[in-house]
């Protein structure tokens, strides 16, 4: 199963420079709704292993990325292709909403 790693600002630029579809889950340990999104991100990483990269950003550990991408509410899931932000989903969403966006951006 694909592991979901936490990234910090210092690693983020190198990550998105890879030009693959990257899903970034902005989360915090104290965030109840974030705990509902976490298993969805794990499933997404498993279902699309080798095709996309799924990472987490703990906003308590690295506020700079949240500020850079204007994340004001969590849970927030952002999708990037290289440095281009393709989508932002805020709040708890059903799994098919995540997969539909992934499929859309993998096809384009």
In the annotation, is 34 catalytic? yes
In the annotation, is 54 catalytic? no
Is the torsion defined by CA of 4, 60, 87, 35 positive or negative? positive
Residue 75 buriedness (CB in 10 A; 0-12 / 13-18 / 19+): buried
- Cβ–Cβ < 8 Å for 59, 74: yes
4, 24, 31, 40: the active-site residue:
31
34, 37, 76, 79: the active-site residue:
34
3-state helix, strand, coil in the chain (%, to 5): 40, 30, 30
Active centre residues (catalytic): 31, 34
């Amino acid at each position: 199963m694909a592991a979901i790693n936490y990234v910090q600002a210092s690693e983020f630029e190198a990550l998105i420079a890879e030009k693959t579809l990257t899903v970034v889950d902005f989360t915090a340990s104290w965030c109840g709704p974030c705990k509902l999104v976490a298993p969805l991100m794990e499933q997404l990483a498993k279902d699309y292993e080798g095709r996309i990269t799924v990472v987490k950003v703990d906003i308590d550990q690295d506020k700079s990325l949240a500020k850079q991408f204007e994340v004001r509410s969590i849970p927030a899931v952002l999708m990037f292709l290289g440095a281009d932000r393709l989508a932002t989903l805020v709040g708890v969403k059903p799994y098919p909403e995540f997969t539909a966006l992934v499929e859309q951006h993998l096809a384009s």
